[in-house]
């Protein structure tokens, strides 16, 4: 569970990248975070993960305040950033073992998780190659594997399907659904509205730092009094805040 309460982040003392945002992401759901470029999505995610601190407000990860207990809070989640270019000189297997050491994953569990994730994402033949030799999609996969290796209850994924081939994208969506069905939390941002429409239990739309909507698609349609696609409703909401 993630709780964002009245969070504001201002740049240069004048631009509110996130403006008094409040969202609760429940256990057992896939939650989509949508918005145009520059809307505040990545700033929000960086505050969720403790990379940035909010100027005001509170963020709790599984009821742990990330500002007050950052290490304990960070053990609750796996984070996939929007840029997969990390530790390029390491081999894939070296990077995964490094991530396992950080999170204290035992050698037996580590091997089992690596084998499962590598098979699921079709990376088993590439783990002994250096990450710098990987395609963008393969780099995305190895970062996903590293984030999920300690089997966290919360997944925080920033554009996780960018660069993935259709089969791996499908596999990740299946993993997200399975994870949520076990009572866990999946929070992800995406520009692909069709994906959000198909797999999300709830969504939030942010623009210019403000949360324009938070709820189910059915609630959005009821609020807007129309039976439109998510894309149509998204564009209408964003246009209203220009």
Domain boundary among 110, 136, 152: 152
Burial track 165-192 (b if 16+ CB lie within 10 A, e otherwise): eeebbebbbebbeebbeeebbbbbbbee
CA distances from 42 to 6, 10, 128, 183, 224 (A): 17, 14, 32, 25, 27
What's the rounded Cα separation, in Å, for the pair 16 and 10?
A: 4
User: What 3-state DSSP class applies to 232?
Assistant: helix
The predicted-structure confidence for 172-198, as pLDDT tens digits, reads as follows 999 999 999 999 999 999 888 889 999
What's the rounded Cα separation, in Å, for the pair 132 and 141?
A: 13
Q: What is the pLDDT of residue 211?
A: 95
Which residues, 6+ apart, have CB-to-CB distance to 192 below 8 Å? 161
| Strand order, beta sheet including 56-61 | 15-25, 2-11, 56-61, 64-65
Domain that holds residue 220: 2-76+153-240
Q: What is the pLDDT of residue 242?
A: 62
200 phi/psi in degrees, rounded to 5:
-85, 140
- CATH number at 181 reads 3.40.50.300
Does 92 share its domain with 211?
no
Does 14 share its domain with 121?
no
Does 174 share its domain with 147?
no
The predicted-structure confidence for 157-175, as pLDDT tens digits, reads as follows 999 998 899 999 999 999 9
Does 178 share its domain with 67?
yes
Token couple for 142: 């190895």
Does 226 share its domain with 173?
yes
Reported confidence tier of residue 222, pLDDT bands at 50, 70, 90: confident
Which residues, 6+ apart, have CB-to-CB distance to 103 below 8 Å? 75, 149, 150
Q: What is the pLDDT of residue 139?
A: 96
Does 148 share its domain with 163?
no
CA distances from 6 to 18, 54, 242 (A): 10, 10, 22
Q: What is the pLDDT of residue 173?
A: 95
| Strand order, beta sheet including 77-80 | 77-80, 154-158, 185-189, 29-34, 202-207, 210-215
What's the rounded Cα separation, in Å, for the pair 27 and 198?
A: 19
Does 195 share its domain with 104?
no
Does 61 share its domain with 157?
yes
Percent of the chain with pLDDT over 90: 79
**Domain tally, the chain:** 2
Does 62 share its domain with 141?
no
Domain boundary among 100, 117, 152: 152
pTM of the full predicted structure? 0.93
Does 160 share its domain with 231?
yes
């Amino acid at each position: 569970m993630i709780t964002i309460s009245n969070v504001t982040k201002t740049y240069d003392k004048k631009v509110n990248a996130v403006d008094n945002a409040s969202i609760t992401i429940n256990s057992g759901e896939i939650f989509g975070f949508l918005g145009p470029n520059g809307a505040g999505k990545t700033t929000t995610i960086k505050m969720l993960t403790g990379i940035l601190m909010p100027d005001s407000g509170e963020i709790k990860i599984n009821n742990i305040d990330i500002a007050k207990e950052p290490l304990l809070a960070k053990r609750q989640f796996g984070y996939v950033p929007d840029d997969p270019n990390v530790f390029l000189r390491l081999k894939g297997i070296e990077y995964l073992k490094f991530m396992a050491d950080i999170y204290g994953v035992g050698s037996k569990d580590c091997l089992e998780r690596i084998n499962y994730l590598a098979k699921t994402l079709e990376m088993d033949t590439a783990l002994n190659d250096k990450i710098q030799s990987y395609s963008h999609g393969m780099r995305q996969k190895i970062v996903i594997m590293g984030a999920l290796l300690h089997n966290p209850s919360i997944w925080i994924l920033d554009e996780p399907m960018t660069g993935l081939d259709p089969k791996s994208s499908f596999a990740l969506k299946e993993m997200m659904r399975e994870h949520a069905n076990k009572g866990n939390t999946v929070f992800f941002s995406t520009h692909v509205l069709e994906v959000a429409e198909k797999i999300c239990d709830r969504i939030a739309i942010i623009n210019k730092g403000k949360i324009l909507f938070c709820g189910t698609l059915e609630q959005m349609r009821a609020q807007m009094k129309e039976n439109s696609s998510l894309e149509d409703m998204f564009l209408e909401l964003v246009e209203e805040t220009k």
